[in-house]
Structure 1
Amino acid sequence: MKYKAVAFDMDGTLLTNERLILPETVKMIEKVTTKGIKVILVSGRHHTIMHPYYYQLKLSTPVICCNGSYLYDFGKQQFFAAKPMSKMQAKKLLKLVNTYGIHTLVYTDKVMTYEVLDDHLESFSEWVTSLPKFLQPEIKKVDSFEKVIDEANVIFKFATSSHNLTALKQFSQAAAAENEFSCEWSWSNRVDVAIKGNTKGNGLAHWAKHEQIELREIVAFGDSYNDISMLSLAGLGIAMGNADDEVKAHADYVIGDNNSQSIATELEKLFL
């Protein structure tokens, strides 16, 4: 099979534990793109948080954001193939967040918002301030998520987290029971909640159609549960060594972890 594109999950896959792309990987991606292979970033992240890496890799293709909730074209500065939640659904989800005492960020079409700064967000904010000014995304503190929902043009995702895993699991189960939301674990203590059907796999399908590429012509790399749909749908699914066994079971094979040069090595084998 001659593959025409390669899709990367970001956290835990393309990025090291220090939120960096290894220099060897950057160089290999540059070599791959010069051969006409399309590179696509696929993440639970908001597009503004993906932009620094998109810029670093000098990409031109749209990115898949918020676990497939929308695609974003940086050239046109607009989203498409979007499936946001309604204001009523967002308020229903907010009620569950408050009931279970779960921390959340609410992602709109423009910005990520939070009411309370937790330890993860504090660390994340440090990364943001380390970037050049023109690449720094806005993470906005708000007094009321209710007001955010009322005033936003679009709500794409709730990024929920808790060190109380029992409460987080109960919240996730309650949200899923509404039969309106997709709850996907993006980390050991973080659950992304979007409209049911919004998955990385579906996002990749929209992207493939946009680029006129068959899914069987795409290689996908991932490490987490929210990557399973993408790993299963792509022509070749490759799991990282740091992935859980259940994730690895949905891949065609497994390589080294995200802190190693395994992605660069694999790209060279596949495309050069």
Structure 2
Amino acid sequence: MKYKAVAFDMDGTLLTSNRLVLPETVNMIKKISDQGVKVILVSGRHHSVIYPYYYQLNLSTPAICCNGSYLYNFENEQLFAGKPMTKDQAKTLLELVNQYKIHTLIYTDQSMTYEVLDDHLESFFKWVNTLPTFLQPEIKKVNSFEKLIDESASIFKFATSSHNISALQQFSNAVEALDMFSCEWSWSNRADVAVKGNTKGNGLTHWAKHENIDLSEIIAFGDSYNDISMLSVAGLGIAMGNADDEVKAKASYAIGDNNSPSIAIELEKLFL
């Protein structure tokens, strides 16, 4: 099989634990890109937080953002194929967030927003401050999520988290019971909520049709539960060694973990 594209989840897959792309991986991505293989980033992240890596890897493809909620073209700075929440849906989610007392970020078409700083955000800001100014994403503090929902053009995702796993699980169950959202766990204590049908697999499918590439011609790398839809639809789904067994079971096979040069080694086997 001659593969035409490679799709990468970011956190826990393309990125090491300290949010870096290994130099071996950077070099190998350049080599396969020079051969005409398309490389696309598929993430739960907002496009502004994907951009530093897009820039580093010198990509020209759009990014699949917020777990497939929209695609973003960095070259013309426009999003497309977006499926945002309605304002009523966003307010329903906000009520559940408050009911279960969990933390959330809200991703709009413009930026990531928060009301309260938590330990995850503190760590995130430390990473942001390591970047050159022109690559630093803007994360806005807002006084009222309700006002934000009223005033925003589009709401794409709630990034919820809690150290109280039981409360987060109850919240997740309540969200799923509404049958209008996708609630996918992106980490052991984080769950991403978007409109039902917004998944990485569907985002990758949309992009493949746009590029006239068959899904069987795409390789996907992932490590978490929100990657399963992508690993399942790609012609070759590769799980990271740090993935849970349930994720690995949905992949074609597993390789080493995200802190080792396993991606570079695998790409060399597949393309060179």
Q: Tell me how far apart the structure 2 counterparts of residues 200 and 20 of structure 1 sit (CA, whole Å).
A: 22
Deviation of 1:168 after TM superposition, in Å, equals 0.1
Tell me, yes or no, if structure 1 residue 154 matches structure 2 residue 128. Answer: no
Letter in 1 for 2:13: T
Report matched runs for 1:150-229 at 5 Å: 150-229=150-229
Residue of structure 2 equivalent to 1:117: 117
Residue of structure 2 equivalent to 1:25: 25
Deviation of 1:212 after TM superposition, in Å, equals 1.1
Residue of structure 2 equivalent to 1:74: 74
1:163-217 Cα shifts (integer Å, max 9, x gaps): 0000000000001111110000000000000000100000000110111111000
Structure 2 counterpart SS, 1:32: helix
Q: Tell me how far apart the structure 1 counterparts of residues 80 and 143 of structure 2 sit (CA, whole Å).
A: 29
- Scaled by the length of structure 2, the TM-score of the pair is 1.00
> How many correspondences in the alignment?
272
Q: Which runs of 5+ in 2 are unaligned?
A: none
1:32-77 Cα shifts (integer Å, max 9, x gaps): 0000000000000000000000000000000000000000000010
Structure 1 counterpart SS, 2:121: helix
Letter in 1 for 2:171: F
Letter in 2 for 1:128: V
Letter in 1 for 2:163: H
Q: Tell me how far apart the structure 1 counterparts of residues 111 and 261 of structure 2 sit (CA, whole Å).
A: 33
Q: Tell me how far apart the structure 1 counterparts of residues 47 and 176 of structure 2 sit (CA, whole Å).
A: 25
Letter in 2 for 1:132: P
Residue of structure 2 equivalent to 1:83: 83
Q: Tell me how far apart the structure 2 counterparts of residues 78 and 209 of structure 1 sit (CA, whole Å).
A: 19
Q: Tell me how far apart the structure 2 counterparts of residues 271 and 87 of structure 1 sit (CA, whole Å).
A: 46
Q: Tell me how far apart the structure 2 counterparts of residues 264 and 202 of structure 1 sit (CA, whole Å).
A: 26
Structure 2 counterpart SS, 1:130: coil
Residue of structure 1 equivalent to 2:107: 107
1:205-256 Cα shifts (integer Å, max 9, x gaps): 0110111111000000000000000000000000000000000000001100
Residue of structure 1 equivalent to 2:49: 49
Q: Tell me how far apart the structure 2 counterparts of residues 150 and 130 of structure 1 sit (CA, whole Å).
A: 33
Q: Tell me how far apart the structure 1 counterparts of residues 224 and 126 of structure 2 sit (CA, whole Å).
A: 24
Q: Tell me how far apart the structure 2 counterparts of residues 260 and 130 of structure 1 sit (CA, whole Å).
A: 22
Letter in 1 for 2:217: E
Q: Tell me how far apart the structure 1 counterparts of residues 112 and 204 of structure 2 sit (CA, whole Å).
A: 23
1:74-107 Cα shifts (integer Å, max 9, x gaps): 0010011111000000000000000000100000
Deviation of 1:129 after TM superposition, in Å, equals 1.1
Q: Tell me how far apart the structure 2 counterparts of residues 170 and 131 of structure 1 sit (CA, whole Å).
A: 37
Q: Tell me how far apart the structure 1 counterparts of residues 11 and 26 of structure 2 sit (CA, whole Å).
A: 15
Letter in 2 for 1:48: S
**Any runs of at least 4 consecutive aligned residues in structure 1 with deviations exceeding 4 A, and if so which?**
none
Deviation of 1:27 after TM superposition, in Å, equals 0.3
Q: Which runs of 5+ in 1 are unaligned?
A: none
Letter in 1 for 2:126: E
Structure 2 counterpart SS, 1:54: helix
Q: Tell me how far apart the structure 2 counterparts of residues 59 and 84 of structure 1 sit (CA, whole Å).
A: 26
Residue of structure 1 equivalent to 2:6: 6
Q: Tell me how far apart the structure 2 counterparts of residues 134 and 263 of structure 1 sit (CA, whole Å).
A: 28
Structure 1 counterpart SS, 2:93: helix
Identity %: 77
